[in-house]
Amino acid sequence: MRHPQPRSSLIAILVAVLIALAAPASCATYHVDPLGDDAHDGLTPASAWKTIAKVNATPFSPGDRILLLRGGEWHEALAASTSGSPGKAIVYDAYGNGDKPVLWGSDAIAASAWTQVRPGVYRCAVTASAITQVLADHGTGANGQWYASGSGSGTFHAGAGELLLESASDPRSDGRAYAIVCRQDVVSSNGKDHLEFHNLHGEETADPANGYVFRVMGSQDVLLEDCEAYRGGRHDFGVINSTGFIGRRLHAAYAIPKQATLYVSYSGDESRYDNCTSQWIDCSGDHFEDGSLFFVCHGHKLGSITFINPRDRGGKLSVLEDNPAQRVRISGGLIQDGSIELICSHAVIDGVTVVGSSTIDCWGHDNIIQNAKMLVRPERGGPTGYGAAVLMRKGAAHNTVRFSSIAMDPSCGSDKACLMLADHALGTSWYGNILLSTGAAVGGGELAAGDVQVCDCNLYGPSETIGGMDFERWKSLGLGDRHSLVGDPRFSDREKGDLALRPGSPAIGAAALPAELINDLTGDFSGTPRPHGKPLTIGAFEPVEHPR
């Protein structure tokens, strides 16, 4: 005879069952190896899957990790299959030793695959349904070449299972590596949320119309970290109709000539999110091809966009504004032989270093440039043709340049300017700056009352002009610079790019300005706090006091 369980025991069993049902399932880690087998379970390196197709076809649970073998290469595109959950992302990462795993948008063509149709025209069989570019030696280096669709030497035509290449170089014998670009978005969020992608490398998606390498599309809460993208088409890293995005320590280079942008944030009317946010932290770009851009943002549903320490070596960081609620902040970083283009309002550029043939090019209104360190040598007028470190375009009203150190290269001619006003009645403010030039501190023609909003506590070089006038004549007009100075700022080492101030600089503690102009200026270029209750130091650097 079976005796009934005591009531307390039944309750304990029921509680245990409920706890077990409520407990989250343990997170799994899957491995992918080019020498693996999709029939395996993927749960250990010894039982790794083989293909990205297997990954794409597998549903995952929040917290799962999918690891690609370092040193591995796949001629496939990775598209997230499942969303994670808040605080429990699905993570794609690398394992093992060696280089980051590579996902290719191209397929190689062996030299033996080519036959000659006639001199300068070569044929090979292909299985790809769409070919957007043909690359020789990856399109880079002394022998690199991009072949676009079309006719004539340097082009290709694809169709009916074959590829015709018109080339002055014989692909059968020239020793170059040829590849067809036949897939894009080699890493994609695929509309899924709460994802992380780490330590992945994407290559050769050079479709001029699309051709993304990494695409975050229609997603929220996606992190890309320590990833690299090369030879993309329209964009190397694209954040499209997505919000809550963070990109950290990303690098992109070798964009398709004349057409590409390495990084983009876009959110249009079709987005399911309003005021989409993105953060780009310690992201870099170089090897720009024929005017390719470093970054661009646009779209009616963009909100806050933050850059921290961008590294732009040769491109344009272009900020467009289609949403009046959009706010952009660029903090720190380096612009070398490139430009920041502000076609927007209420942006803040704080603590950026601008060197070489570079400029900050302002088309919009109510923007602030502060704590900038600029050592500029415009070549042939620089990126804008105006030969200015900071340029205010026609219609660029009520912008402010403050507490920046701007030094034009001594070799610059008299037509070059630290600040150029390309139109009148802009109401530009400049105060607390060191402006050094062999020509104009402020250029653009004779200044009148409507040209200036606030101008004071600047330090100019002894032979500069302001609005075509020497300092004393300019000051006598009563439009500004009542407490400004002329002299040597005593930089620590200008030739080596060090614009910090030596003891005894006349700029130290010389900016006695109304509180409403400086209350929101908390630190200098280096993060040293600006003092409260006493005059600030002119320029980008407050002195660091050392204990005796």
Tokens representing 77? 């595109």
The residues spanned by each domain of the chain are 109-181, 373-548
Return d(Cα 263, Cα 244) in angstroms, integer.
16
Q: How many CA atoms lie within 13 A of 512 on its CB side?
A: 5
Q: So what's the pLDDT on residue 255? A: 77
pLDDT band for 15, please (50, 70, 90 cuts). very low
pLDDT at residue 22 tops 50? no
Taking only the tens place, the pLDDT of each residue in 499-512 is 999 999 999 999 99
Q: So what's the pLDDT on residue 1? A: 43
Taking only the tens place, the pLDDT of each residue in 162-195 is 999 999 999 999 999 999 999 999 999 999 999 9
Please state, in angstroms and as integers, the Cα–Cα distance from residue 393 to each residue in 113, 379, 384, following that order.
55, 19, 10
Taking only the tens place, the pLDDT of each residue in 249-295 is 999 998 776 668 999 999 999 999 999 999 999 999 999 877 789 99
* Region of poorest pLDDT, from 18-22, 99-103, 452-456: 18-22
Evaluate whether 195 touches 217 at the Cβ level (below 8 Å): no
Q: So what's the pLDDT on residue 413? A: 79
Q: So what's the pLDDT on residue 315? A: 93
Evaluate whether 50 touches 38 at the Cβ level (below 8 Å): yes
Strand-by-strand arrangement of the 145-149 sheet:
106-109, 178-181, 133-136, 145-149, 155-159, 162-166, 121-125, 115-118
pLDDT at residue 386 tops 90? yes
Evaluate whether 420 touches 430 at the Cβ level (below 8 Å): no
Instruction: Report which secondary-structure segment, H or E, holds 349.
Output: strand 348-350
Residue 224: other Cβ atoms inside 10 A: 26
Please state, in angstroms and as integers, the Cα–Cα distance from residue 53 to each residue in 77, 102, 266, following that order.
8, 15, 28
Return d(Cα 121, Cα 497) in angstroms, integer.
53
* Region of poorest pLDDT, from 23-27, 135-139, 281-285: 23-27
- Which residues touch 241 (CB under 8 Å, ≥6 apart)? 217, 218, 266, 267, 268, 270, 271, 272, 273, 276, 299, 301
Q: Whole-prediction pTM value?
A: 0.92
Q: How many CA atoms lie within 13 A of 428 on its CB side?
A: 29
* Region of poorest pLDDT, from 84-88, 398-402, 451-455, 532-536: 532-536
Mean of pLDDT values over 521-548: 87
Please state, in angstroms and as integers, the Cα–Cα distance from residue 81 to each residue in 40, 121, 211, following that order.
19, 42, 21
Return d(Cα 389, Cα 381) in angstroms, integer.
10
Q: How many CA atoms lie within 13 A of 518 on its CB side?
A: 26
pLDDT band for 379, please (50, 70, 90 cuts). confident
What percentage of the chain exceeds 90 in pLDDT?
A: 86
Q: So what's the pLDDT on residue 8? A: 52
- Which residues touch 112 (CB under 8 Å, ≥6 apart)? 172
Return d(Cα 428, Cα 498) in angstroms, integer.
28
Taking only the tens place, the pLDDT of each residue in 60-80 is 999 999 999 999 999 999 999
Evaluate whether 103 touches 78 at the Cβ level (below 8 Å): yes
pLDDT at residue 344 tops 80? yes
More confident residue, 10 or 244: 244
At 57, give phi and psi (nearest 5°): -90, -5
pLDDT band for 20, please (50, 70, 90 cuts). very low
Please state, in angstroms and as integers, the Cα–Cα distance from residue 93 to each residue in 39, 55, 226, 233, 508, following that order.
21, 13, 10, 24, 50
Q: So what's the pLDDT on residue 279? A: 98
